[in-house]
Structure formats: C-alpha cells, structure tokens
C-alpha cells in the first residue's frame, strides 16, 4: 500500500463502499465513452468527469462524511494532488499516475473502484482515462456552473438561417445526417397550433393557410397564435405541473382550497408576455417588492401550492418544516435545475452543494408565519381575491353600509336628545313589564370582604380577595304604597358583571366565574325572630356541567352552582329560587339572605349582584326585565353607563324609524358577508417581522437541530451583480436567480421550453443540471438560446417564436427505418418532433372539434364527467363527487377541479401534482384506450361531432373529409376513405337493424341536439367519429 493508502484505510474504504455501494446493471457513461474514444479530442467535462462522477465521487467526492482516505477527485486540486512521491494524476504520464495504475490493478486489494462496490470501469473508459492523461490531462469546471457564452455564428450563415438551424446542422453534418424536408402545411399547422394554444386547427385556419402562398404566411400564423388568449392557457398547464398546483390540500381530509386566482394570474402573465425575470421575481418574492400590488402578492401563491397535511396526530412543526423543504426544493428544481433534496440530510454526493448551503436556501423560505397545525386550506398569510364584479359589489356594499350607519347614527342622536321626555311618557307603560320587585338591601356584610350597597340596590363586593367567603344581606321589598302587603313566592339573584372583576366578569377569580355553594333565606319578623324559608326548586340562566343550581340549596357546603361557558365569563347570569310556602310579608319584616362561596376553587366569590322577589311562584327567569326596571328606578344623575345604554336601547326598539334603518343595515351586512364567503382566498407569502432562526437539521428531522444557518447563496456559483441586503430575503434570492451572471436559470428555463416543443430537452434530465445529469446534446445551441433569452429581456413569446420559426421545428416527422435505428430518440433532430398529445389536449380537442368547447377564460374550477363514486371510494364516502352540468361540462381541461388524492380520472398520464414536476410523463398503456373509447366525454363528443358533420355536409365523401380534417387536419387518402366508408356502411346496417341500440348511443351525455337527426345515421356516424377521435394521428401532433 503506497501513499494513497494510509494504514488501516482499507477498512474505511470497504465500509464506505459497503454503505454506499450501489449495484447497477449498465455503466451509464459507456455509450458516451465509446463515442469519445473514437474521436481524438478528449473533453474533460464531457468525457472524463462523468466517468469519475459515476464511479468515484461516492467515496472521493464532495461529501466530506463519506470521503475515503481524504482524497477527492471532484476538484482540480484533489485530482492533481501529489502525495509524497506519487501524483494522483500526472499530466502526460499515465504510468506515473496513481489513478491510472489503480484502475488497471490486477490485485483486487488495489483495484479501483473496489470490486465489492459492484462498480466496474469498461475497457473503453480505461482507455479514455489513459488518453486524457496522455494528452496532458486538461481540466475544466462543470459546464453548467460556468456562464453560457453565445457561440460565434458566421454572418453569411445567419443571413439565410435561424441560428437554431445553423447549430443543429453543424451537429447533423458531424454525423453524416441531413435535415428532413419541411412538414406538409397541414402537419405544420397542427403541430404549431397545439404547441402554442393546445387546440386543434379549425377548418378555416386550414383553408386559409393552405391557400396562402405568401412568404410571411407562417409567421403571421405564429403571431396570431402567440396573441391568442388560449396561448396563456396552454403555457399555464405546463407551469401548473411545475408549480404542483391543485384545488385541494392532499393527504387525509384533502380539504378544498381556492388557489385558482393564482392560476388565472399565470394565464394572464403568459398572455401579457410578462418577462421571465419578472415572472420569477413576482412568484418567489412579489410580496417583498416595493409597493407590492395585489397581483404581486397573488403571484407568490406559487410558493404555497405545496400539499398541506391535516392528519390528526401530526406535529405542527414537522409539517411546517416539510412545507419549507418543498418550497426550497421546488425553487432548486425549477430555476437551478439542481436536485437539492439529498442535502436535507447530508452534503450532496455528486454536486458541490453542502448541507449547510441547503439550509441557507431553506432560511429564505423559513420566514413566513405559516402554522403547520390543522391543515387550514386558507392558512395565513393569505389574500382575498375578489373578481372585478365581486369587487364592485363589495364596494357598493361598503358604501351602502356606511350610509345606513350614518342614518342610524343621526337617528340615535335625535333619540338621545329625546330620552328624558320619552321616559317621562313611557315610564308607567314600561314598569309593569316585570313581575320582579327589587329587594332593597338594608345591611350587607361578609366575613372577609367589604360589601357596598349601590344606587339601584345592587351590592358590590370589594376589599381583600379571600379564597372563600360568606355574605349576609338584610333587605326589604321595594314596595310601592299600594302594595303595602305582599305574598312572596320566589327570590331572584342577578349576578352582574362589573369592571372591577376579572376581565370585567362576575368575580375576582381567574376566570371571572363564581361558585355559589349555599343560599339560605330567612324571614325576620319585626321582633327579630327569624324563620327559615325553604327553597324547593330553582332555575338558572346557565349551569356549568355538574355545577347545577340545585347544588346551591342541597345542604352540602362543598357543592355549588357556577356559570362558566367559555374561557371567561362574558355575560350576566341569574337564578330564581322558588319557595315551598309563600311568605306573607308585612311592613317591618325583613329578609335575611345568606350567600356562601366555599368551593375548593379559589376566589370564586360573586362580586356584584342584585336581589329581587316576586309574588308569582312561576315568575319567569326574565333576564332583561329586571335590569331595565332598575334603570328606570335610578335617577338620571345616578345612572350607570350600562343603565343609560339599556334605556336608550329600549327607546330605540320603540322607534319605528330606528327599527327600519337597523333592519336595512342588517340585511346589507348579511348580503355582504354571503358575498365575502364566495370570494376566493389565496395563500400567499409574507415574512414575519421576527426572524425565525434556521438550523441544519440532522437527517432532515425537524426536532434534531444542529448549527444555525442564515440565508445566503452558495459560493461555488457566481455571486449576484448587486450586493445582497443586510438581512437577505426571498427578493434577493429571486433577483440572484435571474441575474445575468447566474449560469443556470436561463439554461434550465430554455431547456424546459425546448422540451415542450421537441419532447426532450437539449439536456435530457431537465430536473438535473448537476454532474450526474446528462450533458447537453447541443451545448452551443443551449447556450445561444440562453444568452439570447436573457438579452431579449427574458421575452418568453420571442423565445417560443424563434423556436417555432426554425426550420428544425418545421421539418417533417416522417422517419425512415434506417434513421430511426440510428437515432430513435431524435436526439440529433434530423426530423421534426412527433409525440402523442398530453391527455388534457386530447380532451380539449374532442370538445373543440365537436363544437362543445366553452372557451371562456379563468374562474373557479369545474367538475366535468367522472365515474360515479370516484371520490367516495378513496375517502370512505366522506367526500362525494358532484358533477356539474351545462357549460361547465365543456370548459377546457385546465379548469377541471384537481383533487390531489384522486386526480381527474380522464388524465391518464399527467404529473400527479403532488410535488414539483418538470418531466414529461407521457406513456402508452391500455388504460388510455379505455378512456378515449368509453368515457362519456369522448362518446358525447363523437356524437356531437357526428351531428356537426351530418349538418354541415350532405354526401358521405364530403362528410368523411370534413370529419377527418377536423380531427387530423388533413384529408383522407383513397385507401383510408375506403376503410372509413366501409365501416360507416356496416355501422349503418347494424344500427338500422337495432334501432334501440342506436337510440342508446344517442342518449349518452347531457348535451341535447337542437334538432334530432336520422337516428341510424347519427348513431353510425357517432361510432365512426369514435374511431376517428382514437386515431393515432388524432391524438398525436
């Protein structure tokens, strides 16, 4: 073991290899290596780094914790390190390079990669590495982390060609390939219209374009599509996949949210051609822009589209951390094309991203006041986003409500000035409204506290605040002269709130609650003899659980009556105690009332109360009457504020005009609140004032914080042109992403656009531009696109236009077996792109060609046809799918309600919209066929398309031609015509013999034909249109 192997390191290496030793079936870099070995010039970044990354970086790469013998091959310094006598790589001298010696070692103890890692270099790779060292071992950094430089393109080539074509042809030439001829006009129109608007060409568009020989015909068409409002819808779809947009939270419960105004913002942004740098800044940090507009706030909904977990038993902080992970990693994938996820737990194994840098990114997003608990689908920070109509209505309401309030105020001022005269006039009428007569306290005392008799006969408790107390009050009824003698059958205790009690409640206890443990009543004769008065029943305004009113006279000194309803007592209470025998009261007699507060709960002593009596044993517990009576009896100058308000209230109730205006106000407020309920609330971003500290989380666990990390940017990427703020925030991050010096954002973005038009990106791994991602097939083209995108001011429409204007895009997709074998994935672009339409476009096409499509833009999501029970089965019947009717069945698929746990069933291979997704999900399985053959949507579209064809043309030939043109954009060949006509005739015969079956076909779907057609014909044509809508050509472009 020489210098590279410190004693004992074998164990380390073995261990490391065991832990991270992946088995794998085929060396991924082989093909590339073979290719490079064949050519003379070895390019380090293209040919050598992938071999090292694949086979060596796990143990000799960026991750310090898994690094063996402290050797790293991912840096220039490490690769050319000299240890003692031995160089890892000695330029020009493969035989003196330890790396070369070790990969060729025959001793399995020396061989690298170690056999137990299950990694093995191919012969070609070994030759390639040798050649590279021999050629002087030129080194360069990872391509994607250096700035793109637009390639030089000779002027003479540019005068006649789109730079895209110049750069694509260069690669074709190098491989002895030739570009394909241009696509037919039909093929091209179909391709470009779907790509730019997601909709099929109309017959008029086809006719016009086929007839227009002018050189600018195609460009005019492209400009028209770019200007179409449907352009924004088409582009929005892809962005919604990226943004993991859905109409529910996901997870158990899967509550519904209203993020769709954000979706409409995206459509508008594309249609208005918002530059991509602004598009980026607004969505990541619109809230932090100076004078942020409502749209700027709305745009940040992007960050809040993540799933929300409302499952019981989940820990709030764990959830919140998950959300921030999602936001951080979405940013990483969408703008940087980097897979940050690995670094949640440890330094990245292949890219230079450390765990610390991950949490530095994380810290940018970690500053919102979002609460992880509960799964509220409107979890603040949020924003109400009324539609313009709603906004107008709300403004109208505000104005009307203000007017109503003014009217009320004016009326009340008027009434206030008339209060005394009103009272004078009404007093007698008001007085008999109560059967209760106040007991006027003569003496009132307690064992510990001070009792004061108040004007209006209430008793206020003050002084020390003992744990328990006993009160004794002697009082006489407030009898008017004509009631000189009375029969008294019941006693009433009003517990009143007072400002000196806890939180303005009923007592000086922690909750403002009291516990009356015992009440005793005595009738005291003028001679002083006291006779107990038995209480047999009682009634209270409220009883707190087991603390019933009957406990107050059960002779158990511990049990009692209490009234707590919520956290604090915030209302008055009362109880009525009914006597066994009525007491005949004559002047000179007194009542002595004992009130005991001896519960184990401390300080639960009633603080302010009023006693009264009634002759009626069944006198109701009329809560309002007594205080009013009190107020009426109190002289104006002694009235409390409460009493004044009470009288005013009574006066207002008595006033028809006041009643009318308050009624109006209530109606207005009710309507406004109902409207507000309909206003969507979008979750947005806003940072809290107090900075939340971010820590490196061990293994990504929320409860295992390590060292602190603060928002900043990785230093292995170019810094921002302008310095970060003192306390860097998301706005700094967003600006850095779209800084002209950022080497990734523009490349990553144009690559996704390329993928949208060509099916595959120039970098196939659109999600990974790191060292494990694939290298660009056309690096010069990628850089040219990136540079021109930035130089154009991040003009999205221009980028889309330059691509669709290229001859590369306009080639025919037809492919010969030889070419296909040579380049099955169309990497070198010697033919035009051809792919199956995404499933949402297939549905939109069916709606469009049949004429069912309702092309309205934006608005709340809709529920078109889906199989019965589709939500109920997944949610144990808790959520049921309620299908819409009428126009809502025929909106573009973009507006279909997206329930995360059961995505729309008609979309067979879309991104599941759970996390950020930038890849194309298209597949080819039997389940797709079942959808487009059997789903009501498609059967109905076939029926309505059939009706359209039958109406618009009269003979079979023209009808077949029209139908074929509608779904494939071209006319049928004679052979195709024969097949279709044959099938049509068979279906006609068949349905003629089975009219009930024809009728059955024609009943599918809710759309009703305005004027019924011949049933046999219509059914047969429906069958034929089903065939046409399922043609490979119909579902491809």
Partner 1 sequence: MDLFQDFSRQQTRRGLLGTSAQGLGTAALASLLNPMTPGRAAATEPTRGQSDLPHFTPRAKRVVYLLQNGAPSHVDLFDYKPMLKEWHGKQIPDEIAGGKRFSTMTGGQTLRPVLSEITRFAQHGESGAWVSDFMPATAGIADDLCFIKSMYTESVNHAPAITFFLTGSEMPGRPSLGAWLTYGLGDSSRNLPSFVAMTSRDKEASCGQIFYDFYWGSGFLPSKYQGVKFRGSGEPVLYLANPAGMSRERRRGILDDLARMNELQYAATGDPEITTRIAQYEMAYKMQMSVPELTDFSNEPAHVLERYGPDVHRQGSYAYNCLMARRLLEQDVRFVQLMHAGWDQHRNLNTQLKIQCEDTDAPSAALVRDLKERGLLDDTLVIWGGEFGRTPFLQGKIEETETWGRDHHPYTFSIWMCGGGIKPGISHGASDDFGFSAVENKVHVHDFQATILHLLGIDHERFTYRFQGRRFRLTDIYGQVVKDILR
652 binds partner 1 (CB under 8 A): no
413 binds partner 1 (CB under 8 A): no
Choice between 570 and 868, CB closer to partner 1:
868
Q: Enumerate the β-bridge partners of residue 443.
A: 474
CA dihedral of 405, 406, 411, 417, whole degrees rounded to 10: 110
Q: How many CB atoms lie within 10 A of CB 32?
A: 19
663 binds partner 1 (CB under 8 A): no
1007 binds partner 1 (CB under 8 A): no
Residue where the block lists tokens 């510990």: 448
Cα distances (Å, whole numbers) of residue 971 to 400, 962, 1033 = 62, 8, 12
Choice between 662 and 771, CB closer to partner 1:
771
The distance of closest approach from Cβ of residue 25 to partner 1 in the complex, given in angstroms and rounded to an integer, is 5
The distance of closest approach from Cβ of residue 815 to partner 1 in the complex, given in angstroms and rounded to an integer, is 4
Cα 802 to Cα 226: distance, rounded to the nearest angstrom:
12
Cα 330 to Cα 914: distance, rounded to the nearest angstrom:
11
Question: In the range 902-961, which residues lie near partner 1 by CB under 8 A?
Answer: 902, 905, 908-909, 912, 914-915, 921, 923-931, 933-936, 939
675 binds partner 1 (CB under 8 A): no
The distance of closest approach from Cβ of residue 458 to partner 1 in the complex, given in angstroms and rounded to an integer, is 46
Question: In the range 167-206, which residues lie near partner 1 by CB under 8 A?
Answer: none
Rounded to the nearest 5 degrees, what angle is found at the Cα of 641, between the Cα atoms of 636 and 644?
A: 50
Find all residues with CB under 8 Å of 364, minimum gap 6, and list them. 328, 711, 728, 729, 730, 732, 733
Exactly one of 311, 447, 534, 556 binds partner 1 (CB under 8 A); which one? Answer: 311
Choice between 457 and 928, CB closer to partner 1:
928
Residue where the block lists tokens 């009914």: 578
Stretch that binds partner 1, among 505-513, 575-583, 586-594, 812-820 (CB under 8 A): 812-820
Distance of CA 578 to the CA centre of its chain: 60
Spatial contact of 1016 and 998, defined as CB atoms under 8 Å apart? yes
How many C-alpha atoms does 354 have within 13 Å on its Cβ side?
Answer: 13
Choice between 66 and 283, CB closer to partner 1:
66
The distance of closest approach from Cβ of residue 488 to partner 1 in the complex, given in angstroms and rounded to an integer, is 50
28 binds partner 1 (CB under 8 A): yes
Stretch that binds partner 1, among 129-137, 615-623, 628-636, 982-990 (CB under 8 A): 982-990
Stretch that binds partner 1, among 196-204, 290-298, 641-649, 979-987 (CB under 8 A): 979-987
1009 binds partner 1 (CB under 8 A): no
Rounded to the nearest 5 degrees, what angle is found at the Cα of 915, between the Cα atoms of 910 and 921?
A: 25
Stretch that binds partner 1, among 237-245, 363-371, 431-439, 819-827 (CB under 8 A): 819-827
The distance of closest approach from Cβ of residue 924 to partner 1 in the complex, given in angstroms and rounded to an integer, is 5
Choice between 14 and 135, CB closer to partner 1:
14
Stretch that binds partner 1, among 22-30, 205-213, 516-524, 574-582 (CB under 8 A): 22-30
Question: In the range 831-890, which residues lie near partner 1 by CB under 8 A?
Answer: 834, 836, 867-870, 873-877
Cα distances (Å, whole numbers) of residue 805 to 154, 220, 599 = 20, 11, 88
Spatial contact of 353 and 772, defined as CB atoms under 8 Å apart? no
Cα 570 to Cα 769: distance, rounded to the nearest angstrom:
62
316 binds partner 1 (CB under 8 A): no
Question: In the range 750-809, which residues lie near partner 1 by CB under 8 A?
Answer: 765, 767-768, 770-773
Cα 969 to Cα 959: distance, rounded to the nearest angstrom:
14
Smallest CA-to-CA distance from 323 within 210, 244, 227 is with 244
Choice between 488 and 766, CB closer to partner 1:
766
Residue where the block lists tokens 């709305």: 298
1002 binds partner 1 (CB under 8 A): yes
Spatial contact of 551 and 517, defined as CB atoms under 8 Å apart? yes
* 300 secondary structure, DSSP code: G
Question: In the range 241-260, which residues lie near partner 1 by CB under 8 A?
Answer: 251-252, 254
Cα 24 to Cα 118: distance, rounded to the nearest angstrom:
7
**Prior bond to 381 cis, omega within 30?**
yes
Binding mask 333-372 for partner 1 (x = CB under 8 A): ------x-xx------xxx---------------------
Cα 770 to Cα 263: distance, rounded to the nearest angstrom:
30
The distance of closest approach from Cβ of residue 816 to partner 1 in the complex, given in angstroms and rounded to an integer, is 6
Question: In the range 471-530, which residues lie near partner 1 by CB under 8 A?
Answer: none
Paired tokens of 57: 């970086």
Choice between 400 and 822, CB closer to partner 1:
822
The distance of closest approach from Cβ of residue 912 to partner 1 in the complex, given in angstroms and rounded to an integer, is 8
Binding mask 85-124 for partner 1 (x = CB under 8 A): ---------------------------------x------
Kind of pairing, strands 681-683 and 608-614?
unpaired
1012 binds partner 1 (CB under 8 A): no
Exactly one of 379, 969, 1001, 1021 binds partner 1 (CB under 8 A); which one? Answer: 1001
Choice between 25 and 106, CB closer to partner 1:
25
The distance of closest approach from Cβ of residue 311 to partner 1 in the complex, given in angstroms and rounded to an integer, is 7
Q: Enumerate the β-bridge partners of residue 491.
A: 577, 613
The distance of closest approach from Cβ of residue 581 to partner 1 in the complex, given in angstroms and rounded to an integer, is 47
> 375 in the Ramachandran plot: left (φ > 0), alpha (ψ -120 to 50) or beta?
left
Choice between 667 and 825, CB closer to partner 1:
825
Stretch that binds partner 1, among 313-321, 442-450, 574-582, 590-598 (CB under 8 A): 313-321
Binding mask 276-295 for partner 1 (x = CB under 8 A): --------------------
Phi, psi (degrees; rounded to nearest 5) at 912: -75, 0
Cα 710 to Cα 706: distance, rounded to the nearest angstrom:
13
Choice between 342 and 385, CB closer to partner 1:
342
974 binds partner 1 (CB under 8 A): no
701 binds partner 1 (CB under 8 A): no
Paired tokens of 838: 């995404």
The distance of closest approach from Cβ of residue 759 to partner 1 in the complex, given in angstroms and rounded to an integer, is 11
Cα 443 to Cα 441: distance, rounded to the nearest angstrom:
6
* 840 secondary structure, DSSP code: H
Choice between 16 and 613, CB closer to partner 1:
16
313 binds partner 1 (CB under 8 A): yes
Q: How many CB atoms lie within 10 A of CB 534?
A: 12
Q: What is the largest CA-CA distance in the chain?
A: 130
The distance of closest approach from Cβ of residue 880 to partner 1 in the complex, given in angstroms and rounded to an integer, is 13
> Which DSSP string do the residues of 243-271 spell out, in sequence order?
TT--SB--TTT--B---HHHHHHHHHHHH
The distance of closest approach from Cβ of residue 909 to partner 1 in the complex, given in angstroms and rounded to an integer, is 5
65 binds partner 1 (CB under 8 A): no
> Which DSSP string do the residues of 567-606 spell out, in sequence order?
SS--S-EEEEEEEEEEEEE-TT-EEEEEEEE--SSTT--B
Stretch that binds partner 1, among 36-44, 395-403, 635-643, 1025-1033 (CB under 8 A): 1025-1033
Cα 868 to Cα 872: distance, rounded to the nearest angstrom:
9
The distance of closest approach from Cβ of residue 611 to partner 1 in the complex, given in angstroms and rounded to an integer, is 45
Choice between 513 and 968, CB closer to partner 1:
968
Stretch that binds partner 1, among 377-385, 789-797, 899-907, 954-962 (CB under 8 A): 899-907
């Amino acid at each position: 073991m020489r210098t590279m192997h410190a004693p004992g390191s074998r164990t380390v290496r073995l261990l490391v290899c065991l832990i991270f030793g992946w088995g794998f079936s085929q060396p991924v870099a082989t093909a590339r290596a073979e290719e490079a070995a064949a050519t003379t010039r070895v390019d380090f970044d293209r040919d050598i780094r992938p071999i090292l990354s694949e086979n060596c970086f796990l143990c000799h790469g960026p991750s310090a914790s898994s690094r063996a013998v402290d050797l790293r091959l991912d840096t220039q310094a490490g690769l050319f390190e000299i240890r003692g006598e031995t160089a890892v790589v000695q330029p020009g001298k493969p035989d003196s390079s330890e790396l070369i010696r070790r990969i060729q070692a025959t001793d399995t103890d020396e061989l690298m990669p170690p056999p137990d890692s299950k990694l093995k270099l191919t012969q070609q790779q070994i030759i390639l590495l040798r050649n590279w060292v021999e050629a002087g071992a030129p080194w360069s950094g990872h391509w994607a982390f250096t700035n793109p430089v637009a390639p030089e393109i000779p002027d003479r080539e540019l005068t006649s060609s789109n730079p895209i074509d110049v750069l694509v042809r260069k690669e074709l030439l190098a491989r002895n390939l030739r570009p394909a001829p241009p696509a037919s006009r039909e093929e091209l129109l179909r391709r470009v219209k779907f790509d730019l608007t997601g909709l099929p060409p109309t017959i008029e568009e086809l006719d016009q374009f086929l007839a227009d020989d002018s050189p600018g015909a195609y460009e005019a068409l492209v400009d028209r599509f770019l200007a179409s409002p449907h352009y924004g819808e088409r582009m929005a779809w892809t962005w919604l996949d990226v943004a993991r947009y859905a109409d529910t939270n996901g997870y158990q419960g899967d509550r519904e949210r209203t993020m769709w105004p954000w979706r409409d913002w995206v459509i508008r942004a594309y249609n208005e051609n918002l530059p991509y740098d602004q598009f980026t800044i607004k969505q990541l940090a619109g809230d932090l822009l100076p004078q942020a507009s409502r749209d700027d706030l709305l745009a940040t909904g992007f960050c809040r589209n993540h799933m929300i977990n409302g499952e019981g038993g989940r820990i709030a902080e764990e959830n919140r951390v998950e959300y921030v992970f999602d936001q951080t990693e979405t940013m990483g994938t969408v703008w940087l094309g980097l897979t940050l996820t690995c670094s949640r737990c440890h330094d990245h194994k292949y890219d230079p991203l450390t765990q610390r840098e991950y949490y530095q990114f994380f810290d940018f997003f970690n500053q919102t006041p979002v609460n992880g608990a509960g799964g509220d689908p409107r979890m603040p920070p949020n924003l109400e986003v009324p539609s313009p109509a709603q906004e107008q209505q709300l403004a109208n309401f505000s104005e009307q409500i203000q007017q109503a309030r003014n009217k009320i105020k004016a009326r009340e001022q008027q009434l206030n000035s008339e209060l005394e005269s009103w009272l004078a006039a009404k007093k007698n009428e008001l007085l008999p409204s109560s059967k209760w007569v106040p007991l006027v306290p003569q003496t009132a005392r307690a064992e510990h506290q001070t009792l004061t008799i108040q004007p209006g006969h209430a008793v206020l408790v003050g002084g020390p605040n003992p744990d328990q107390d006993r009160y004794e009050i002697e009082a006489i009824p407030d009898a008017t002269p004509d009631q000189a003698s009375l029969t008294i059958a019941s006693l009433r205790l009003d517990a009143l709130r007072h400002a000196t009690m806890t939180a303005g409640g009923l007592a000086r206890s922690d909750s403002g609650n009291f516990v009356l443990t015992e009440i005793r009543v005595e009738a005291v004769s003028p001679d002083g003899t006291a006779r107990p008065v038995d209480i047999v029943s009682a009634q209270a305004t409220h009883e707190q659980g087991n603390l019933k009113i009957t406990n107050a006279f059960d002779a158990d000194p511990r049990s009692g009556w209490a009234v707590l309803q919520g956290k604090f007592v915030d209302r008055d209470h009362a109880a009525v105690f009914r006597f066994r025998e009525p007491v005949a009261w004559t002047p000179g007699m007194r009542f002595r009332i004992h009130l005991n507060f001896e519960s184990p709960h401390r300080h639960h002593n009633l603080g302010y109360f009023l006693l009264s009596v009634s002759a009626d044993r069944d006198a109701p517990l009329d809560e309002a009457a007594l205080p009013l009576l009190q107020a009426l009896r109190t002289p104006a100058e002694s009235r409390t504020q409460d009493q004044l308000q009470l009288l005013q209230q009574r006066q207002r109730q008595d006033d028809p005009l006041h009643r009318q205006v308050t009624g109006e106000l209530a109606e207005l407020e009710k309507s406004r609140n109902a409207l507000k309920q309909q206003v969507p609330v979008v979750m947005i971003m806003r940072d809290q004032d107090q900075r939340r500290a971010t820590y490196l989380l061990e293994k990504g666990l929320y409860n295992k914080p390590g060292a602190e990390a603060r928002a900043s940017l990785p230093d292995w990427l170019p810094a921002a042109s302008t310095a970060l703020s003192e306390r860097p925030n998301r706005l700094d991050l967003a600006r850095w992403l779209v800084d002209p010096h950022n080497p990734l954002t523009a490349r990553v973005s144009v690559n996704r656009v390329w993928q949208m038009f060509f099916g595959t990106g120039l970098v196939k791994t659109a999600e990974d531009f790191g060292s494990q991602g694939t290298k660009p097939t056309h690096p010069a083209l990628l850089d040219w696109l990136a540079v021109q995108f930035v130089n154009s001011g991040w003009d999205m429409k221009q980028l889309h236009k330059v691509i669709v204007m290229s001859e590369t895009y306009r080639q025919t997709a037809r492919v010969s077996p030889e070419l296909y074998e040579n380049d099955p994935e169309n990497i070198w672009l010697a033919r035009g792109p051809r792919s199956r339409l995404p499933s949402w476009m297939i549905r939109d096409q069916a709606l469009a060609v049949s004429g069912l499509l309702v092309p309205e833009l934006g608005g709340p999501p809709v529920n078109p046809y889906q199989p019965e029970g589709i939500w109920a089965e997944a949610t144990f019947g808790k959520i049921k799918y309620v299908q819409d009717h009428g126009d809502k069945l025929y909106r573009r698929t973009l507006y279909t309600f997206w329930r995360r746990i059961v995505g729309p069933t008609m979309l067979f291979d879309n991104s599941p919209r759970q996390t950020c997704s930038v890849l194309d999900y298209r597949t080819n399985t039997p389940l797709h066929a079942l959808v487009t053959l059997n789903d009501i949507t498609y059967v109905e579209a076939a029926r309505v398309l059939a009706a359209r064809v039958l109406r618009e043309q009269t003979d079979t030939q023209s009808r077949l031609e029209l139908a074929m043109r509608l779904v494939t954009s071209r006319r049928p060949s004679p052979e195709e015509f024969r097949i279709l006509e044959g099938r049509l005739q068979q279906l006609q015969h068949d349905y003629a013999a089975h009219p009930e079956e024809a009728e059955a076909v024609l009943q599918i779907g809710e759309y009703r034909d305005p004027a019924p057609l011949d049933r046999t014909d219509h059914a047969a044509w429906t069958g034929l249109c089903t065939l046409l809508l399922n043609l490979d050509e119909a579902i491809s472009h």
